Structure 1
């Protein structure tokens, strides 16, 4: 009788266990998960499927200063996870030999959903994004060929490339694909805003956050369009009347693009100061004040900004309250990325 009771207990445990979710395997942690409220990826993930070995190789490359000419600058110098992979220390990018760039390093989250990159949109495929930093004389100051030669001669990298791609012959193409596998996993979709939109975790906006959202929808969302909080377009937002940095016009050759820069995502914006393409705005209040009464007229100024965006101090504070709901703390502490 006792044996029969034990058998019944074991059967019950088995049945209950079958009703539970399957355990998460290590590989599952490195799978791409499409947020239900996001657009489909712009990147062809079938061409470079994300694997654990590929991501871990991409992370090692991302954090390796030896890829720079003087072995002092890694990608992570300008893209720190704690601030959504932006640069918390510098207004302008800092590179080899203490060189200073001309633009602020933007955050690199949710790039898998985007088809143009950098402040001027000068690159149209994610795989080619690292080349800009690797070969820029004011960033990493190296060449693709020299980077590949270093990787091939290193004691660790050939085995890592074999694990990720099945070969220990390292090429620039495989190196760039490893970078992309890591970058494609950098999806930020776990903010309070996302919880409210999807009805998760019993989340709700406070009165000020809701008021800020309504103001944002009225004044800001045509450029900073949810859910990515960017239209992925280009705009002259009234910073200057003459342009030493031509912005999009330097790529398009169109004078109508003079002074236009890529509209950045506002996800995690409370953590990604300073702001604007050249980092001239140190805080969110300063940024909103610019739109309130600091717009500078020029021929290519965005039509929506001809009269600025007049907001009372209270309204500005409410918009900032809403912007704070776009902070994804879980993303910025995700142990997969370090």
Structure 2
């Protein structure tokens, strides 16, 4: 017997059977949204959205709802194989080719997570037919291939993303949208750092360390380095791992230290520890090394002046007066 929330949704769908096509879909979507909000468990939410797709497999809501089901199954319920089976069953029922393509792209991270390299390779080939890949599509395939260890596919698709990592290409994608020169530059540099780093890591895993380091050097030239010197991407960690594997220990230590101390990825600290042991033969003294590196890399914050809600300006140096100061920024409500 259907769960109460699912039963209410299915009843609503039957009531809507007299509505026109697009209107019927939208009202069913609204009913499903309400039913999913009331559902007590992730499994019940999955059932609601699967029932919606069973009734309306080819609407403007298909891609969005399929993604919702996959997120619940693969992430919250940790059942990526079931999520992939769900997509495989749904795809033949989607008559619109672009929707079908968008849903097929959702399989890539699931295949990568399950290390299904050959299936991923085949799907990447299928998705490359018919029309040229966009930047996002090429990078999605490349990232999934990298996670699955299908390095030739990763290298191929990072290369396909390269032509999009230019100001001209980004402008074309954003046609009609307001775009300042600063925003344009930052967006292009992020793309370049992403693609160059991906190419470097793929080359390293294909045994081409010299090529990898050249790509990493290019990535570093355009990465939006953060205030304390750590990279704004995966570059620092992956370059550091490559340098360590190549026996370039001092360079690895220098690259990894800001990532480990100020970055977002805990793996950087593990790899920095490995580099330290490779240089000194022991972990002894590692914590003291971290403290020295933190002091070496630290930078004094530049002074600044900002207004409060009343418009009165405050200068940071006048507030801090040599003491520790906590700054909290939030959007006014």
Q: Tell me which interval the TM-score lies in, with the shorter structure as reference length.
A: under 0.3
Structure number with the higher helix fraction is 2
TM-score, normalised relative to structure 1:
0.22
Higher relative contact order (CA 8 A, sep 6+): 1
Which structure has the larger Rg?
2
